[in-house]
Structures are given as structure tokens and as C-alpha cells.
Amino acid sequence: MPRTFSFEFFPPKTPEGAAKLRATRQQLAQLKPDFFSVTFGAGGSTRDRTLEAVLEIQRDGLEAAPHLSCIGANKNDVRTVLKQYMAANIRHIVALRGDLPSGEVDVGDFRFANELVEFIRAETDNHFRIEVACYPEFHPQAKTPRDDLQNFKRKIDAGADAAITQYFFNADAYFEFVDEARALGVEVPIVPGIMPIANFTTLARFSDTCGAEIPRWIRSKLQSYGDDAASIRAFGLDVVTGLCDRLLSQGAPGLHFYTLNQAGLACTIWQRLGL
């Protein structure tokens, strides 16, 4: 099976951000990835900006995969978005539960991502290739690892074609998760999500929120560099390139880079891997 490589962006908020993202995308497009994905704010708060970014990627002749989160949304909202994407000939979606915007309590018509996947399939048949999320170190809200695996299987059984993992720095956690998913009968590709390390404070904040573990030896090293951005970058490149090399050499079906709308680190890792 061919490996798939992809890059993730978030929709820019300003004209300056849009220009910067355009430059990032043009740089990464030279690597000929299989697709670019674009995130979707809590409760659909970036819906229009996600659509704009995706349409621009499509106009450049590249494959775009918008994220679609369902928490806080009703079926008509989601139906409208699906129709917009179909009209634009978008064939690829990353389907997620997502987070409620702060202060809101109405979860809407969908409680879990498997319900969204089921709805997309019912509404659009096989028009879309559907990716879903999974968590090698387990979702922070899951009661047990077993529950989390069962939740993942429900998304696949609902009609998902592939999965992208939350980022991680422990390759063993990924391989163990894949083995356990296979034992449950999950056969789809499970592509590792990769977070290049640019800034320790940002990484620590993200990781604490999403439940991704920064191994103690990595955390200690990064903390020891203080404000030395060049050392953080150099060490981060070594760690993440080594992780990617091990993942690919042991059979991972590709890599999905969380770029944070920056091209430099992902390009360097790509070149070091000889992709």
C-alpha cells in the first residue's frame, strides 16, 4: 500500500496570516504531499475561513481535506457544509467530534465523531474519503484505554477510510496502539501525527491540553535550553526526525505533520528523511 504524507494548517484570521499561509503552502507543495488539511474551530467557529482556505488550496491544483467537527452543530448545519464541499468538488474530509466553544452547553445533534461519520456516509454515500482521529496515548476524556479503542473502532465501523493520530513522541505507544486496534479488527491505515518542535512553552501548553506526553528526558532537555531558540530547534529536529525514521522503517503508512502554518521544520525533517 502506498504511504501517504500530508500537512495540516489552521485557517488564518488576518490578511497578513493568509499571505503567510500562502507562502508556507507553496513551499510545502514542492514536496508533493498527498493532501493538505485545514482545521475547523470549536463549534464551527472558523467554518467560512476553513472553506476559503480549502478552496484556495484546490484552486492551486492540490488536494484539500477540510476538518469538520460536529459538537454543537445540528444536522442542517453539517448538511449545508457538506453541500458546499461537494459543490467545490472536495473529496476528502477529516471528521472530528471537536470541542464546544467555551461557555456553551448545547452539544447539538451529534455527541460523538462516529455519529458524524455515519451522517456523512448517509448524506453523501462514498463521495468523501473520511479520515478520523485516534489517540495512541489515549484520549484525555476516555475512562480507560479499552474504552478509547472501542470508540475508535466505532468510527471505523461507521465508515471511516483512515485515521490520523494525535501527535506523540513515544513510538512504542503508537505501535502498541496499532497492534491493539488490529486485534479488534480495525484494518484501515493509521497514520502517525507528527509535531515538529519549535517552542517549548507552546509545545507544553498543547500537550497538557490534548494529553500528549512529552517524555521526561525530552522535557528536561528542552527546559534546560531556556530561551536558546537555536538549540531548541536543533534538538527538536533530531528528536522528531529520529521518531519519523523509526515509524517509517517499522511500517507506519505515512506521516501527517502539524505545521502550525510554518514550513521550515517540516521541510527540514522531510529532507533529512530523504523523502
- What confidence tens digit (pLDDT) does each residue in 81-98 have? 999 999 999 999 999 998
**Catalytic hit among 8, 115, 118, 137:** 8
Q: Is 52 helix (H, G, I), strand (E, B) or coil?
A: helix
pLDDT score at 1: 75
What proportion of the chain, given as a percentage, has pLDDT over 70?
A: 96
Chain centroid offset of residue 88 CA: 22
Number of domain units in the chain: 1
- What is the value of pTM for the model shown? 0.95
Mean of per-residue pLDDT scores for the chain: 93
Q: What is the CATH number of the domain that holds 268?
A: 3.20.20.220
Q: Clarify whether 8 is annotated catalytic.
A: yes
78-87, 106-115, 149-158, 241-250 — which is least confidently predicted? Answer: 106-115
- What confidence tens digit (pLDDT) does each residue in 25-79 have? 999 999 999 999 999 876 555 678 888 899 999 998 999 999 999 888 889 989 9
pLDDT score at 180: 97
Chain centroid offset of residue 178 CA: 17
Residue 257's DSSP bridge partners are 7, 194
Instruction: Report the candidate in 167, 165, 212, 217 with the shortest Cα–Cα distance to residue 191.
Output: 165
Residue 48 belongs to domain spanning:
4-273
**In 45-133, alpha helices (H):** 47-59, 75-87, 113-124
- What confidence tens digit (pLDDT) does each residue in 151-207 have? 999 999 999 999 999 999 999 999 999 999 999 999 999 999 999 999 999 999 999
Long-range CB contact pairs, 203-209, < 8 A, 24+: none
Q: Would you say residue 105 has pLDDT above 70?
A: no
Residue 272 one-letter amino acid: R
